[in-house]
Amino acid sequence: MWGRNIFKWSEISIKSSAQKLYSKIDERARFAFVSAFVIGFITHCFSFFNLYLNHDGIKNIYGFTDMTSSGRWLLKPACLLSGDACLPVIIGLLSILYLSAACALITEMFKVQNKGFIALISAFIVTFPSVTKTFTYMFTADGYMLSFLLAAAAVFLAKRRRFGFLPASLLVCLSLGIYQASVSVCIILFMLVIAIDILDGEKTKQIYIRISKYISCGVLGCGLYYAALKAIIAIKGVALTNYKGADKLSLDLNSFKNAVVNLIPKNLALILADGQFGFCGKKFLGVSLAALTMIAVVLVLLRANSMKLYKRPLVFLLLPVLFFSLPFMMFCILFISPGAGYYAVMLSSFSIVFAALPIIFDRYLSVSSLITFLHKYLMVALSVLFISHFVIFANFTYVRGAVQTKNTEALMTNIVSELYTIDNFTKKPLIITSRSYDKEGGKGPNYMSERARYIFLGFVKYEASAEDFIYEDLTIYLKLYYGLDCTPMKHAQFTEIKQKCAGKLDDSAADTGRAYDIFEHDGKIIIVLNNYLK
């Protein structure tokens, strides 16, 4: 009886505490969370119920690689909640929960009132192509989304409390410890907070005090991250790799500028060029993006004029500075590591730029006239257009991944079936390599045709020099799915063998249209991939 009373009391206490906590959360923040979760789940659920293969994912199906040497000393602990294996359903649900919480924080941070605009904010963040690309590397997705949440929480805390920038710097440190590119999420959110303060008519002195606090938060957070990184790599006895420039920290303004200028069109293509997979073309999406930008600029200028900000040049001039520095701040990590490669998964801060539109409209748009009414609904229509495009792009990516995974499975099944026709093949060393010859108009020996990349493994496009990844990946595939030990062979070694096997391994054999050939040489079985498959 006594035990039952204790259990009943504990149950009531937990329920009461949960109700109190729930009641303290603003209704609109709850709506942001729910809308983000529903939209995010619908958009990405295909990836949660399928396991795709790519060059990174196949290495981490049954165990997660420690990423301390890449500067992500907190990534592995951050992913422990989903287990030490790639479990798409668990990882996917956690990822959407983290993103939903971030949407709730952003909604509360900017006091967004209109539920329609809240839904747009949530939709922009959870459907953005950077989220889709992250889910193609499912084994780290929950960690990266937690990093996004910590970045949003850092800005929220720094904005809400007088000395909140101090504990917020710790959150910045933790966010960067999971994924360094999240620093741009912090910066873009801080810039949006400053822009809102300016348009709200805050005093000049107050604005500059807040700017100094936000800068202090970022600098202190990055300093804590770097100190923790140095301590951890010293304790673990590891060295930073050259992956994405992690080992080359420097302050090179000229290289930073050149890198950003080169990356802007490349990453705009992430949003526009893949329009062929939706119901809109690239040109139409480009015009729509320009229209959205103009709509936002016009609204900001109208607000600035109504607040007579032109009479306060020290404040007014901050607006164009913030606007034109956006591209540089989205790629800010290149300032300290100019050689870093920038990929779609690193562009989550871009989603904040899109989400800024409904935030600004909710705060400053009046519907007292027909012009402002049309202004509002044009923005909503274009926003829905982009969100729909993002959803279609996400599902096209996942379906393409499923098809390519099946292609790889079929290819490897054919290879293994042919291996079983060789007498005592399990007792002979197994080697995998590819043909190397310059046939495609000056392309180097590592060149792979699009169809070859499509078939050999996964749906993440390889760089032209990533040939060795293909070998290693298929070696892992043969071991993981068929229990066969296989050794990769580089071109230099293969060239020597090819000269001894005149005819059998001649380059002209690649024109047969076969994806592979299998030969025996010197007691070894050699699987030769056709990089130039048409």
Share of the chain above pLDDT 90, in %: 37
φ/ψ of 161, rounded to 5, equals -115, 150
What local confidence, expressed as pLDDT, does residue 282 receive? 72
Q: How far apart are CA 180 and CA 143, in angstroms?
A: 12
Q: How far apart are CA 81 and CA 63, in angstroms?
A: 13
What local confidence, expressed as pLDDT, does residue 259 receive? 56
The DSSP element (H or E) to which 493 belongs, if any, is helix 491-500
Q: Residues 365, 369, 372, CA angle at the centre, nearest 5°?
A: 40
Lowest-confidence pick of 227-236, 305-314, 403-412: 403-412
What local confidence, expressed as pLDDT, does residue 109 receive? 96
Residue that the structure tokens 């970022």 belong to: 218
φ/ψ of 184, rounded to 5, equals -70, -30
CA dihedral 364, 366, 372, 375 (to 10 degrees): 40
- Residue 480, pLDDT > 70, answer yes
Region 8-28: mean pLDDT is 67
Q: Residues 470, 476, 481, CA angle at the centre, nearest 5°?
A: 120
- Residue 94, pLDDT > 70, answer yes
Between 263 and 32, the more confident residue is 32
In this prediction, residue 47 has a pLDDT band, given cuts at 50, 70 and 90, of very high
Region 110-126: mean pLDDT is 96
φ/ψ of 530, rounded to 5, equals -100, 100
Q: Which two tokens stand for residue 82?
A: 């989903």
Lowest-confidence pick of 21-35, 212-226, 313-327, 368-382: 368-382
Lowest-confidence pick of 46-50, 150-154, 254-258, 323-327: 254-258
Give residue 291's region: left, alpha or beta (phi > 0; psi -120 to 50). Answer: alpha
What local confidence, expressed as pLDDT, does residue 172 receive? 96
Lowest-confidence pick of 136-145, 146-155, 182-191, 326-335: 326-335
Q: Are 31 and 115 in contact (CB under 8 A)?
A: yes
If DSSP codes are grouped into helix, strand and coil, which group holds residue 176?
helix
What local confidence, expressed as pLDDT, does residue 106 receive? 97
Which of 7-11, 465-469, 487-491 has the largest mean confidence? 487-491
Q: Are 372 and 361 in contact (CB under 8 A)?
A: no
Angle of the 183-199 helix axis to the 318-330 helix axis, nearest 10: 170
Q: Are 93 and 200 in contact (CB under 8 A)?
A: no
What local confidence, expressed as pLDDT, does residue 383 receive? 93
Q: Are 75 and 67 in contact (CB under 8 A)?
A: yes
CA distances from 218 to 154, 158, 173, 225, 253 (A): 10, 10, 9, 10, 19
Long-range contacts of residues 77-84, Cβ cutoff 8 Å, at least 24 apart? 78/142, 78/143, 78/146, 78/147, 78/178, 79/139, 79/140, 79/142, 79/143, 81/142, 82/142
165-208 pLDDT, tens digit each: 999 999 999 999 999 889 999 999 999 999 999 999 999 999 99
Q: How far apart are CA 133 and CA 150, in angstroms?
A: 20
Q: How far apart are CA 190 and CA 118, in angstroms?
A: 19
Cβ burial 81-101 (10 Å sphere, 16+ → b, else e): ebeeebbbeebbbbbbbbbbb
Give residue 523's region: left, alpha or beta (phi > 0; psi -120 to 50). Answer: left
375-403 pLDDT, tens digit each: 788 899 999 999 998 999 899 888 888 88
What local confidence, expressed as pLDDT, does residue 460 receive? 42
Q: Which two tokens stand for residue 172?
A: 């910045």
In this prediction, residue 78 has a pLDDT band, given cuts at 50, 70 and 90, of very high
Residue that the structure tokens 């959870």 belong to: 126
Q: How far apart are CA 395 and CA 385, in angstroms?
A: 16
- Residue 476, pLDDT > 90, answer no
What local confidence, expressed as pLDDT, does residue 449 receive? 62
What local confidence, expressed as pLDDT, does residue 364 receive? 86
What local confidence, expressed as pLDDT, does residue 166 receive? 94
